[in-house]
Amino acid sequence: MKTLTTLISLTITTFLLNACSASKTVTPSQNSALNSVTSSHKQKSGAMQESLDNWLEKEWTPTVEKDEKIKEKYKAKERDFTLQEYVDKSEVYIRDNNSTYENSHSKKISSMPVIGK
């Protein structure tokens, strides 16, 4: 009986997970009012994505591209991205854009009357 209950619950769980994870494409509607609210063909980036894109373009990329060691190590275009690549590039970025403790968020929080030390 216990095996049957386990089998039934496993089957139901598997069915629900598969049903929820199926990605279906949204077909465009003929209703213009509906399309203005939930447009499936337009894709706008949000403020956070725009901020990240600007930061990558104006700060991250120029800083990382200045380093000759990184340029030489990752010059091949036909390579897979690795976590080590990100670590190497972040090391260069942090080294070049190092902020001191005096300008840090930790210092500001510590100096606050109730929250800080």
Q: Over the stretch 30-60, which tens digit does the pLDDT of each residue have?
A: 777 777 776 555 566 789 999 999 999 999 9
- Is residue 108 within 8 Å of 101, Cβ to Cβ? no
Report how far residue 74's alpha carbon sits from residue 41's, in angstroms, rounded to the nearest whole number. Answer: 36
Distances (CA, A) of 64 to 10, 17, 50, 60, 93: 49, 42, 20, 6, 6
- pLDDT over 60 (residue 91): yes
Q: Which residues contact 26 (CB under 8 A, 6 or more apart)?
A: 38, 40
What is the average per-residue pLDDT within 105-116? Answer: 78
Residue 68 has a pLDDT of 92
Q: Over the stretch 19-33, which tens digit does the pLDDT of each residue have?
A: 655 555 566 667 777
Q: What is the CA radius of gyration of the chain?
A: 25
Residue 53 has which token pair? 């894109």
- Segments making up each domain of the chain, as ranges: 47-110
